[in-house]
Amino acid sequence: MSFFEQYHAIIPDFPRFQESLHTPLPVHLRVNRLRITPERLERLLAEKGIPVKPVLDPYDTLYAAPGLASPGNLLEYYLGYIHPQALTSCLAGIALSPHPGAYLLDMCAAPGGKSAHCAELMDNTGLVIANDLYTTRHTALGHTLSRLGVFNALITGYQAQQFPMHQRFDYVLADVPCSGEGRFRETKAGVGFREHKGLVKLEDVQRRIILRGFDLLTQGGEMLYSTCTYNPDENESVVNHLLQERPATLCPIPITAPFEPGILKWKDQCYDKRLIQAARFYPHRINSVGFFMARIVRE
């Protein structure tokens, strides 16, 4: 039995989902408005014979680049005009939609694509704290922010679940460490997904991160909790824990992209009915990395 058979009951049109796992992940690019307009970027790539096309209305900075094997080798990459990023990963920043002048914390920021996207949406104003525990990742994180023209960001190195409580934030992005099931594609015959051995410990860390993220919000502040996995134990269960422990409210995910609502039951667990407001992104619905999002407001 395939590893993903355990999700047969919760993934709609499961045969198509299985088929999607046998196709390579497509190349998606996010145009960086801090450096260039989408229209000019299209013209530059067209002059080089590189076809790109907008992939999702009305988001004019998100492009598919079929046939482009190495976008990181393009001059436009080094100039910070583009950032190769999974489509669903780009939607995280759009779902949060931080406003200019805000204070935002990205709790697990490396390699920096989401932090840079948030800075762009904030027009390079306010403050972005790009936090990542592992100092070995800070060089790549800093390079991403610098290449993309971000100058309203600071890099910190705290454990996300122990981030200091000295400052409250208007927005918190908690794209937490997860088992990464949504990234799997079987591009080589017989190579299946390997289950994460420390999953129980991972869920404990995720719960601690989401609680600390919520506690760091200002009154009325918003947090986006996200993973790139399908496992309800890392998704709905973690958010359900927050709803039990804190005065949190779930809000709809404000994006025009195909997704399924959060589930309310998994195995012997029943979740808060508000979790129907969460979003599950599947590769056969939107050809990208599998993703989960929940938008949380502090009352």
Q: What is the DSSP letter of 64?
A: E
Please write the tens of the pLDDT for every residue from 9-44.
Answer: 999 999 999 999 999 999 999 999 999 999 999 999
Predicted confidence (pLDDT) at residue 62 exceeds the cutoff of 90: yes
Instruction: Please tell me the class of the 26-85 domain.
Output: alpha beta
Helix (H) or strand (E) holding 19: helix 14-20
| HSE value, Cβ hemisphere, 13 Å, CA-based, for 74 | 19
CATH architecture designation of domain 3-23+86-298: 3-Layer(aba) Sandwich (3.40)
Beta carbons of 244 and 259 less than 8 angstroms apart: no
Helix (H) or strand (E) holding 249: strand 248-251
Please tell me whether residue 209 adopts helix, strand or coil conformation: helix
Beta carbons of 60 and 40 less than 8 angstroms apart: no
d(CA 116, CA 68): 23
Please write the tens of the pLDDT for every residue from 158-214.
Answer: 999 999 999 999 999 999 999 999 999 976 555 556 666 656 689 999 999 999 999
Which pTM value belongs to this model?
0.95
Catalytic annotation, pick one of 108, 178, 228, 251: 228
Mean pLDDT of 130-143: 96
Please write the tens of the pLDDT for every residue from 82-121.
Answer: 999 999 999 999 999 999 999 999 999 999 999 999 999 9
Task: Give the pLDDT band of residue 1 (cuts 50, 70, 90).
Answer: very low
In the residue annotation, 228 being an active-site residue is answered as yes
Q: How far apart are the first and last CA of the chain?
A: 45
Task: Write down the domain spans for the chain.
Answer: 3-23+86-298, 26-85
| Mean of per-residue pLDDT scores for the chain | 94
| Tokens standing for residue 263 | 């589930």
